[in-house]
Each structure stands twice: as structure tokens, then as C-alpha cells.
Amino acid sequence: MGGSEPDIQALEERIGYRFRDPKLLLRSLTHPSFVRSGGDLVHNQRMEFLGDAILGMTLAEALFHELPEEREGALTRYRSILVNGRQLSQLAGEIGLGAYVRLGDAEEAQGGRRRTSILEDAFEALVAAIYLDGGLEAARSSILQLYGPLQKRLDQQLEAHNPKGKLQELLQPTLGNDSIEYRLIEESGPDHEKEFTVEVWVEGACRGRGTGNAKKTAEEDAARQALQSFEI
């Protein structure tokens, strides 16, 4: 089932944490398919649930302190970016987590070690295992070490999720640099709690409308809608 048992000591070296109870680490690496194939009776889905909460809390606290000028809406967005499946599977890839996951034979044969959802779940379960073994401070320390500088992580993810840039790249080759226009339609609310509504127009047609607590955020929201209208 899923090949030989993982070398957990090698994984401990990769993550910089030594488990007092190695069974917790093994459980975090156990996919439900391994259990269905007759392996261990406990898989990692409950730990995944716990790890998700610990990740969210740790990153929310770190962002709160590191970005003192940002409002709660932006902080919520940044936290969401840092805990999305794409980011978690990337982190799992950086420590080679896929090689250590315990899979059933069928899942192994179907390339489960490279499956984004499996890597994401295993990373969240790993966080929970560290928490259960060493407490909140150990989990917090490991999370921040694995992420590295949060601003750098955010910049990488924001660049990858730049809807205005993607829209420009899509249309520029055929329509030119001036084909996209963002129009501020409405600005409401008190100064400390403004809400902006923006439309994006392409060659005389409105292709998207977005809202946000900053014009830039509203423009990005409108660009996402425009991309959907172009089926990107």
C-alpha cells in the first residue's frame, strides 16, 4: 500500500521540528485511501480541520503586527491568499511532502502524490500534528519558518493573482494599450469606510463591475468579472 513507510526523520529535518510522538506525524501523512486499503485505522482529515484553524489564526496575528496600516478587509484578503490551496500545495512541494504521504495503491497509481488537494490537506494536517505534539508556540514557530517573509509570499501570490495584468495581457496584442478603461461609477460611505464601485470598459462595452474599499480593489474586482466574460 503506497510503497514503503516514509522516513519521518528525514521529514523532521526538512521542517525543522522533532516530534516527541512520531505517531502524530504518521497520522498527519495518512490519506483516507490508505485506510480504505487496509492500512492504519486513523487518517488525517480531522487533523486537516484543526491545522486549517491554526494556520488561519497564526497568519492573521502575523499580518496584524506586520502590516499595521492595513484595514481589516485587506488583512482578510491577504490571509485568504496565504492559506489558499495553491499556496499550501506550493509549501508542501517546497518540503517534498508528497514523497512522505501514505496512500492506497489506487491513489498512488493515479498520481496522488502530485495532487494539489492531497498536498494541501497533508500540509494542514502536518501543522496540526506539530500543534498536538508541541503546543501552539511550536506550531506558530514552524508555520512562520516554513512561510518565510510573509510580504515576499504575498507579493508572489498577488502577482500570480493579478486580474488587471492578466486582462491587459489578454487584450493588448489585438486591441492595443488603450483598449481598457476603468471608470469610477460611485463612491459612498464616510471617509474612514469608503466603498468604491468601478466598471471596466473594453472598446465601448462594459465587461465588468467591481466594488471595494479602495479604487484599486474595485478595479481588480471588475477585471476579474471581465476575465470571466472572456472565459479566461
Catalytic residue positions, numbered: 52, 124
Amino acid in the structure at residue 97: L
| Residue recorded with cell 519521518 | 8
How far is 150 from 186, CA to CA, in rounded Å?
A: 33
Distance CA 5, CA 147 (A): 27
The 8 Å CB, 24+ separation contacts for 179-184 are 179/203, 182/219, 182/222, 184/215, 184/218
Q: Where are the beta strands (DSSP E) in 28-118?
A: none
| DSSP one-letter string for 148-182 | --HHHHHHHHHHHT-HHHHHHHHHHHHH-TTSEEE
Closest CA to 114 of 94, 89, 95: 89
